[in-house]
């Protein structure tokens, strides 16, 4: 599964990728906007938005791409790799959960 991580700390990029690798996902981390941002986000199965370390422009672009292409968007307010991978795990377990309507995971 391909996951795009939008935001985060550049010094922790390797840790994010390793955390996702441990749960069977391939991650692409975007700390800044670049030429491949839109293409990579469109090809993702899921997008994780780290709100504390992303610019408004980058966050808005990611939200619009997800909405337009019906890609799940998970919003996380913490930067640690454990928080990010925990949000992914909760997202996939949430569909079968009886309390799915109360979940904090954002879906488009």
Q: Print pLDDT tens along the chain (108 aa).
A: 899 999 988 888 999 899 888 888 899 999 888 888 999 999 999 999 998 888 899 999 999 999 999 999 999 988 888 888 888 887 777 555 554 444 444 444
Residue 27 lies in a domain: yes
Q: Please indicate, yes or no, if residue 108 is contained in any of the structural domains.
A: no
pTM given for the model: 0.79
Q: What is the CATH number of the domain that holds 35?
A: 3.40.50.10330
Q: How many domains does the chain fold into?
A: 1
The pLDDT, as a whole number, for residue 106 is 42
Is 96 a domain residue? yes
Per-residue pLDDT, 96? 55
Query: What pLDDT score was predicted for residue 108?
Result: 40
Residue 107 lies in a domain: no
* Domain membership flag for residue 11: yes
Cβ atoms of residues 3 and 88 within 8 Å: yes
pLDDT on residue 73: 92
User: Is 44 domain-assigned?
Assistant: yes
State which residues form the domain around 61: 2-102
C-alpha distance across the termini of the chain, in Å: 19
By C-alpha distance, which of 30, 25, 33, 26 is closest to 13? 30
**Looking at residue 97, what is its pLDDT?**
54
């Amino acid at each position: 599964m391909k996951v795009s991580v939008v935001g985060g700390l550049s010094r922790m990029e390797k840790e994010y990728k390793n955390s996702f690798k441990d749960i069977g996902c391939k991650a692409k981390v975007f700390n800044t906007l670049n030429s491949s941002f839109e293409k990579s986000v469109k090809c993702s199965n899921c997008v994780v938005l780290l709100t504390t370390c992303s610019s408004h422009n980058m966050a808005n672009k990611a939200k619009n791409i997800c909405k337009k292409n019906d890609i799940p968007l998970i919003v996380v307010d913490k930067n640690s790799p454990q928080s990010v991978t925990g949000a992914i795990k909760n997202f996939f377990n949430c569909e079968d959960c009886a309390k799915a309507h109360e979940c904090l995971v954002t879906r488009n």
